[in-house]
Copies of this chain bind each other. A is one copy, B any other.
């Protein structure tokens, strides 16, 4: 068990540079919301910036459905892609690694190194597959809490997440009210709508009806339900983009073929948008685990912030002690601004400190990953407050 080395600077002044993922093994059982326990587990994580002596500058990043621990920087000098939230994490960026110590983990149930359905079930010696315990958002909070203890942090400066990550951040505020000073909830919701659940169900059905799914035991059959998972990702992708964004990006442009009338004109027609989605689906299905996708979408569907608080979000948020930043994006129809306003309304009614920004953006749900100027301004502005609390002057 080694500590993460500080990241290595690169030529980019605002990049955390080259990062090396670390793994932490927990050999005590982790009790889960479903009643079962995970006998032992690994967590893969990355850290950016340095923990101060008071251990007061820690920020936890919670990832969304298809996310993982690699949120910022690169894994090698010639790595073409940066981490998924590199736009927001780095020196001088909203989550400023000159000031904060940032922890980003791959959640349990994931498929990027932390214990999940592709890991070996110690009881059977085979991959967990469909036998991996169903997870709730609160299970991730529990496992993140163990990480917090490992680093000796008693209070996060902030817990931050977008989408499903925002749901975890809110759960932190309710379950461990003393363990965070700020909760930043971006493009999220207190529970999914019927339409959201319906899209998730279609994604799941696409996976489970793939002939190679084998009731989730595809690894034992040396195969992968790639078509189903690709299709699931295509469904997701449409819903992460806005209609206007798709129009601007693709319109009705053709990738191949032509639409003129006459012999043989139709056979090879493919619209740009079809080609794009197919590519996205294929790329995803080669790098993500289908059982993880099923598990994550169910955790999303089952999340209901106020279920144990008489279905009253005001009563729920009364338990929180931190301050909140809530942000939404105008064209996000999967986690619409109306959902964020419900969070804000409940927080206000519960007498909590809350800032809210509704950002004009035509990128749909994906906007939370994109460095839109006003979004960055709002994020920077709020984070300045956290820096001031740490005694940094600006």
Contacts and interface: CB of A to CB of B under 8 A. Distances in A.
A247 B34 contact: no
A354 interface: no
8 contacts: A34-B262, A194-B273, A195-B247, A197-B274, A202-B231, A202-B234, A205-B231, A205-B234
Given A194-B251, A205-B278, 9 more contacts: A34-B263, A134-B266, A191-B252, A193-B243, A194-B272, A198-B274, A201-B234, A202-B277, A269-B298
Interface of A: 33-36, 134, 136, 191-195, 197-199, 201-202, 205-206, 209-211, 227-228, 231, 234-235, 238, 241, 243, 246-247, 249-252, 259, 261-267, 269, 271-274, 277-278, 298, 301-302, 304, 307-308, 333
Contacts of A252: 191-194, 197, 304
Copies of this chain in the oligomer: 2
A33 B302 contact: no
Nearest to A269: B302
A271 B307 CA distance: 15
Q: Which of A192, A228, A302 neighbours the largest number of chain B CB atoms within 10 Å of its CB? A: A302
A271 B197 CA distance: 8
B298 A266 contact: yes
B202 A227 contact: no
Pick the 5 closest A-B CB pairs, nearest first: A35-B263, A211-B211, A194-B246, A209-B227, A194-B250
Given A205-B231, A261-B34, A271 B238 contact: no
B35 A262 contact: yes
A75 B296 CA distance: 47
Contacts of A227: 205, 209
A238 B35 contact: no
A26 B130 CA distance: 55
A9 to B, nearest CB: 41
Contacts of A278: 201, 205
A38 to B, nearest CB: 15
A339 to B, nearest CB: 11
Nearest to A32: B261
A239 to B, nearest CB: 10
Contacts of A228: 209
